[in-house]
Amino acid sequence: MEPTNANEEEGKKKKKKKEALMIQPLTSFTHLHKLSPRLHRNIRAQGYRVPTEVQMGAMPVISRGENLICCAPTGSGKTVAFMVPVLDWILAQGKGDEGGGEGKRKKVRVVVVAPTKELASQIVNEGKKLALGTGVRVALLKKGGEGVKSEVVVSTPAVLLHSLEASTSCSPSPGEGDEMEEKKTDWSSVSRLILDEADILLDPLFRAQTLGIWTQLQSPHLRTSLFSATISSSTETLCQQHIPPSSSPTIRLIVGLKDTTIQNITQKLTYTATEPGKLLALRQLFTTSFHPPALIFVQTIPRARALVAEILYDLPTPGRIAVLHAELSDVARAEVMGRFLAGEIWVLVTTDLLARGMDFRGVRCVINYDIPTSVAGYIHRVGRMGRSGGVQGGLAITYFTEGDVRFVKGIAGVIAKAQGGGEGGKGEGKWLVNALPKVGKSDKERLKKRGVEARSKAADGKEGRISTKSGYERRRENRKRGAVEGSKRRKVQAWGGGDSDGEEGEEFMGITDLD
């Protein structure tokens, strides 16, 4: 009888543990634990009346202090899903003073990591709106910025890791201790780590930095939340390996169908055969069914520059096309973003820099001029449209050439799902999925790391060329233009009696074909 009783007791314990993890969805923001009245007013001021699906599931989990892996569609309100409960938690802990508390030295309680400066800045702006008047500070950690006095700090991986390492390695000399302590950021009180766009942060590009941050912040009270529209099983496994066994259980939240786009977007795959064909298709779109504002994604920075140079005057109103990439200065990037959001720029050509998390509520068209390097990349690019609180619907077009055919099957599968085909349904795009060739694992990995190699470097060794004309045609046009310029110069010299200080005017013989 004793073993039976023991088994029954063990069964009851297991049952109790399972019951403890049954967290009820949040049906109203006011159901959060001791929600600050000011925080509730700020939520309503931002236009949120009822929680979205991801907010219903994620907010109570974070409020309870559990680890979370959350996969939800783009534009579903993930920033609010993690920002509101951490602000509520800080206020409940008594660290935020409703009156302001400007003179107090505040400790960092929450760290949010994002892959790009633009996304980090966007999270800070959203956080400041929600924290207005609560006394809780939300700040962006900048390069070289130490002595942060904010409860919530948002940063990119490299900047944050550098600050963490600096705070642990600095050993002040006698007499300088107080001054050094004032300049250093105190990370010892961090209890919440949030990885926004977690799949890219744990990708090989950022993995070492992100895991370094995780190690530096490792403490018994640390709780981690991962958010993205695309989280692979390998990312989940990596996450589980770095969450301490003694920590709280990790809850997995999937909103909607995994690895899908929003269904209210019209998605098209357009076969253009060749690279010049893509440029012709884009120009045709400009003159037929084009609805700005639009984002155009290309594979590399040189191709972004080249495309802008080629289409700069293709719109009826000049000066409405701009380029944004990582090689621009922070000031230039901020200026371009500001003009785009203000409606001064209609078409923004960019790389995958803006494909992650950026909230463009007015974007009506996304053009994948170059195919994405992965299915996840496609989902995030298209996810710049149809976002919560913005213009619903939109058009997503992906151009692909003969050389791209073997890489398009995954994208076609995502489109078929969005059209209602599901895994084995009868959506319009299902026939294309069946017709396209399968992609091998090694080809997928190569594409993800290097992109389409033919676009990284042209056959003649010149990078980034985009044109509908051959090299011969460009040389002929340059010579003709040079001859016209030379003729004009000779006429001016003849009419003006020459203005060359005794030297014969040199004839302009054409522009060298730098391509």
CATH number at residue 115: 3.40.50.300
Mean pLDDT of the chain: 79
Compare 438 and 138 and report the one with higher pLDDT.
Answer: 138
Instruction: Count the domains in the chain.
Output: 3
Q: Is residue 7 part of a domain?
A: no
Average pLDDT of the residues in 322-346: 89
Please tell me the predicted confidence (pLDDT) of residue 353. Answer: 72
What's the burial of 283, exposed, middle or buried (CB within 10 Å: 0-12/13-18/19+)?
middle
Q: State residue 128's pLDDT score.
A: 95
Radius of gyration of the chain (CA): 28
The larger pLDDT score, comparing residue 169 to residue 3, is at: 169
Average pLDDT (302-316) is 89
Alpha-helix runs per DSSP H in 375-470:
375-382, 409-418, 430-435, 441-450, 453-456
Q: What pLDDT is attached to residue 126?
A: 93
Q: Which domain-ending residue is among 200, 226, 254?
A: 254
Confidence of residue 376 (pLDDT cuts 50, 70, 90): confident
Of the pLDDT bands very low, low, confident and very high (cuts 50, 70, 90), residue 98 is very low
Do 373 and 239 share a structural domain? no
Tell me what pLDDT residue 433 has: 79
Q: Are residues 138 and 219 in the same domain?
A: yes
CA dihedral 30, 33, 34, 35 (to 10 degrees): -40
Q: Which residue has the higher pLDDT, 202 or 75?
A: 202
Residue 276: domain span: 266-456
Do 190 and 120 lie in a common domain? yes
Quote the pLDDT of residue 425: 45
pLDDT in the model for residue 271: 93
Reported as type and span, the H/E element at residue 367 is: strand 365-368
At 266, the amino acid letter reads T
What does the DSSP assignment read for 84-151?
HHHHHHHHHTT-S-TT--TTS-PPP-EEEE-SSHHHHHHHHHHHHHHHTTTS--EEEPPTT------S
- At 171, the pLDDT band (50, 70, 90 cuts) reads low
Surface-to-core class of residue 146, CB atoms within 10 Å of its CB (0-12 exposed, 13-18 middle, 19+ buried): middle
More confident residue, 177 or 275: 275
Question: Looking at 254, 277, 311, which one is the last position of a domain?
Answer: 254
296, part of any domain: yes
pLDDT of res. 508: 39
pLDDT tier, 304 (very low <50, low <70, confident <90, very high otherwise): very high
pLDDT on residue 31: 80
In this structure, what token pair is assigned to residue 42?
């700020």
Secondary structure of 317-337 in the HEC alphabet? Answer: CCCCEEEECCCCCHHHHHHHH
Of the pLDDT bands very low, low, confident and very high (cuts 50, 70, 90), residue 296 is: very high
Report residue 281's pLDDT band, with 50, 70 and 90 as the boundaries.
Answer: very high
Is 146 in the same domain as 276? no
The answer to the question of residue 408 being in a domain is yes
Do 192 and 305 lie in one domain? The reply is no
Residue-wise pLDDT for 113-137, tens only, equals: 999 888 999 999 999 999 999 999 9
Asked if residue 8 belongs to a domain, the reply is no
Per-residue pLDDT, 386? 66
- Give the type of residue at 26: L
> Is the per-residue pLDDT at 458 higher than 80?
no
- 127-131, 176-180, 344-348: range with lowest mean pLDDT: 176-180
Rounded average pLDDT over 479-496: 81
Range with the poorest average pLDDT among 94-98, 178-182, 295-299, 376-380: 94-98
Query: Rounded distance, CA 396 to CA 418, Å?
Result: 12
User: Are residues 36 and 134 in contact, defined by beta-carbon separation less than 8 angstroms?
Assistant: yes
Is 214 in the same domain as 299?
A: no
- pLDDT, residue 165, reads 87
Identify the residue with better confidence: 371 or 384: 371
Banded model confidence at residue 100, pLDDT cuts 50, 70, 90: very low
Same-domain check for residues 400 and 490: no
**Least confident among 154-168, 199-213, 412-426:** 412-426
What percent of the chain is predicted at pLDDT more than 90? 29
Distance CA 341, CA 361 (A): 9
Per-residue model confidence (pLDDT) at position 1: 40
Phi-psi region of 125 (alpha: psi -120 to 50; beta: other; left: phi over 0): alpha
Q: Is the dihedral of CA 474, 480, 483, 484 positive or negative?
A: negative
Residue 481 reports pLDDT greater than 60: yes
Domain boundary among 234, 254, 274: 254
Whether residue 12 is contained in a domain is answered as: no
Residues 288 and 249 in one domain: no
Q: How confident is the model at residue 503 (pLDDT cuts 50, 70, 90)?
A: very low
Model confidence band, residue 479 (pLDDT cutoffs 50, 70, 90): confident
SS3 track for 190-212: CCEEEEECHHHHCCCCCHHHHHH
Spatial distance between the Cα atoms of 53 and 208, rounded to a whole number of angstroms: 32
Q: Which one is predicted more confidently, 18 or 452?
A: 452
Residue 335 lies in a domain: yes
Same domain, 352 and 398: yes
- Within-domain flag for 55: yes
Say yes or no to pLDDT of 448 above 90. no
Residues 274, 395 within the same domain: yes
Q: What is the reported pLDDT for 145?
A: 67
Of 9-23, 111-125, 366-380, minimum mean pLDDT range = 9-23
Flag whether pLDDT at 84 surpasses 60.
yes
The answer on 429 and 491 residing in a single domain is no
Please count the other Cβ atoms lying within 10 Å of the Cβ belonging to residue 417: 21
Q: What is the pLDDT of residue 68?
A: 93
Q: Is the pLDDT of residue 410 over 70?
A: yes
- Please compute the mean of the pLDDT values over residues 272-284 and round it to a whole number: 92
| pLDDT at res. 462 | 54
Residue 14 lies in a domain: no
Between 401 and 172, name the one with better pLDDT: 401
Confidence (pLDDT) at 454: 67
For position 32, what pLDDT does the model report?
A: 76
User: What is the per-residue pLDDT for 424?
Assistant: 46
Q: Mean pLDDT throughout 290-309? A: 91
0.95 exceeded by pTM: no
What mean pLDDT is predicted for residues 177-186? Answer: 62
Q: Are residues 79 and 204 in the same domain?
A: yes
pLDDT in tens, 333-343: 889 988 998 88
Residue-level pLDDT at 511: 40
